[in-house]
């Protein structure tokens, strides 16, 4: 049996699970009920289940093939966001202030569908398929924490995962090689000036003015320190300083992020930012420090894995479903897996204005065309089967 023959059969099954998870969102590292639900459903299929009982969230399911061989992991992230849902459909979030606004409800449903298909095709599986239901993707640290659980990551030879994507029309899938999602880092800037009277600025060092100058000067990092052929985003997302109308504040703090694709350029980016931050402050008689924290590396698809994924999409869904899509600037913690094991991260089209699926990820009206998810399940399942067959 081929997984393409199971797409119709599991369409409602996958859709129903997506809606169930949508209605019951849990935040990062609190996916306790979600984990229990997933474990129960996988056990009902006869899948070997290992729950991370220490943390109570996250689990690995293992499907053993009819023949022995290598092991491949299919991954779904399982956390929701602290967003108040504004959708009105009957499976909207039951929990105030929490919502599956990124689409991880769809990822769980896709992987459950793939599990159903794989258990129906065990005779074709030459090795083991690990179903990795990973917590806390939104923190950026979910993957590195989960990789340590039960040594599962040491036992696998390849990985495959994906993200439902609102900019891609429903039904299309993109699996190109190379960088697909950006590296994401957090920057914090602390400015130290000298507090004073609002009427006597000459006796103070105004941290608000210094912070403002730093924000403006940072705009030249992208435009003047980075090649026009490279991609860097630098965003300052918050500024905090002062509390009174007639006091010049002596301190300011700013938070922001940078996004980029080329890890070899990272030191150059950070040094450019640090130079502008420190020297702009000095020009005003203040001091400033930059605190730089890496969140996730770039998500880079292995060439051989992408080539196989393209064949699998064409073979399972037809040539017209294989789409080309430009890489995107958000980060994804699947990058941590791809740093250590070969694999591919797919974009799964879910855009369909007819069902309201045209609001961006993390928007309070985000939703997806979930009628196409079982086709994605078939691609996940078939990728696992083919990879094991071709990599003995």
Q: Which residues contribute to the site for Ni ion (CB under 5 A)?
A: 102
| Cβ distance to Ni ion smaller for residue 102 or 384 | 102
CA distance 385 to 8: 19
What minimum distance in Å lies between the beta carbon of 159 and Ni ion? 16
What minimum distance in Å lies between the beta carbon of 103 and Ni ion? 6
What minimum distance in Å lies between the beta carbon of 190 and Ni ion? 30
What minimum distance in Å lies between the beta carbon of 102 and Ni ion? 4
| Cβ distance to Ni ion smaller for residue 376 or 388 | 376
Helix (H) / strand (E) element for 312: namely: helix 303-317
Ramachandran region of residue 121, left (φ > 0), alpha (ψ -120 to 50) or beta?
alpha
Phi, psi of 73 (to 5 degrees): -105, 135
CA distance 106 to 164: 7
| Cβ distance to Ni ion smaller for residue 83 or 385 | 83
| Cβ distance to Ni ion smaller for residue 192 or 365 | 365
Pairing between β-strand 158-169 and β-strand 343-351 as defined by DSSP bridges: parallel
Is residue 314 classed exposed, middle or buried when 0-12, 13-18 and 19+ CB atoms within 10 A define those classes? middle
CA distance 347 to 174: 5
What minimum distance in Å lies between the beta carbon of 143 and Ni ion? 12
Pairing between β-strand 59-64 and β-strand 126-134 as defined by DSSP bridges: antiparallel
What minimum distance in Å lies between the beta carbon of 164 and Ni ion? 8
Q: Tell me the three state secondary structure of residue 334.
A: coil
| Cβ distance to Ni ion smaller for residue 125 or 181 | 181
Cβ atoms of 42 and 14 closer than 8 Å? no
| Cβ distance to Ni ion smaller for residue 170 or 277 | 170
Pairing between β-strand 48-51 and β-strand 67-77 as defined by DSSP bridges: unpaired
| Cβ distance to Ni ion smaller for residue 18 or 124 | 18
What minimum distance in Å lies between the beta carbon of 380 and Ni ion? 16
**Closest CB to Ni ion: residue number:** 102
CA trace torsion 210, 215, 216, 217 (10° rounding):
80
Residue 360 has what DSSP assignment?
A: P
For residue 336, give the nearest of 96, 95, 143 by alpha carbon. 143
Exposed e or buried b per residue across 275-292, where buried means at least 16 C-beta atoms within 10 angstroms of its C-beta: ebbbebbeebebebebee
What minimum distance in Å lies between the beta carbon of 81 and Ni ion? 9
* Helices 104-120 + 11-23 axis angle, to 10: 140
Q: Tell me the three state secondary structure of residue 374.
A: helix
| Cβ distance to Ni ion smaller for residue 136 or 207 | 136
The distance of Cα 85 from the centroid of its chain, to the nearest Å, equals 20
Which neighbouring-strand residues pair with 205?
194
| Cβ distance to Ni ion smaller for residue 81 or 276 | 81
CA distance 245 to 243: 7
| Cβ distance to Ni ion smaller for residue 102 or 375 | 102
What minimum distance in Å lies between the beta carbon of 104 and Ni ion? 6
What minimum distance in Å lies between the beta carbon of 95 and Ni ion? 18
């Amino acid at each position: 049996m081929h997984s393409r023959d199971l797409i119709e059969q599991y369409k409602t099954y996958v859709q129903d699970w997506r809606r169930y998870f949508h209605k019951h969102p849990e935040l990062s590292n609190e996916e306790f009920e979600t984990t229990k639900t997933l474990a129960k459903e996988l056990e009902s299929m006869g899948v070997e289940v290992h729950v991370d009982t220490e943390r109570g969230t996250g689990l690995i399911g293992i499907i053993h093939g009819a023949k022995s061989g290598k092991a491949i992991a299919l991954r779904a992230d399982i956390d929701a966001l602290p967003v108040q849902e504004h959708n009105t459909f009957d499976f909207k979030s039951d929990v105030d202030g929490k919502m599956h606004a990124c689409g991880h409800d769809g990822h769980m449903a896709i992987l459950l569908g793939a599990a159903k298909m794989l258990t129906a095709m065990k005779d074709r599986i030459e090795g083991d398929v690990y179903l990795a239901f990973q917590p806390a993707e939104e923190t950026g640290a979910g993957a590195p924490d989960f990789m340590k659980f039960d040594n599962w990551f040491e036992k696998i030879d390849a990985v495959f995962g994906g993200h439902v994507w609102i900019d891609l029309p429903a039904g299309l899938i993109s699996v190109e090689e190379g960088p697909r999602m950006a590296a994401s880092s957090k920057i914090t800037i602390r400015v130290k000036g000298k507090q004073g009277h609002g009427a006597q600025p000459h006796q103070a060092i105004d941290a608000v003015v210094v912070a403002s100058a730093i924000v403006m000067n940072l705009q030249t990092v992208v435009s003047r320190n980075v090649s026009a052929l490279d991609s860097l985003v630098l965003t300052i997302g918050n500024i905090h300083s002062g509390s009174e109308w007639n006091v010049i504040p002596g301190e300011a703090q700013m938070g922001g992020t940078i996004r980029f694709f080329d890890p070899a350029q990272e030191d150059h980016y950070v040094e450019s930012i640090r130079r502008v931050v420190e020297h702009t402050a000095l020009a005003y008689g203040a001091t400033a420090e930059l605190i730089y924290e890496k969140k996730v590396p770039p998500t880079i698809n292995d060439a051989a894995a992408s080539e196989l994924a393209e064949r699998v999409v064409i073979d399972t869904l037809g040539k017209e479903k294989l789409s080309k899509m430009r890489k995107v600037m958000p980060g994804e913690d699947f990058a941590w897996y791809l740093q250590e094991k070969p694999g591919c991260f797919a974009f799964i089209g879910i855009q369909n204005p007819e069902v309201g699926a045209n609001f961006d990820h993390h928007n309070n009206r985000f939703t997806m065309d979930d009628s196409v998810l079982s086709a994605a399940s078939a691609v996940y399942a078939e990728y696992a089967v083919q990879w094991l067959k071709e990599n003995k």
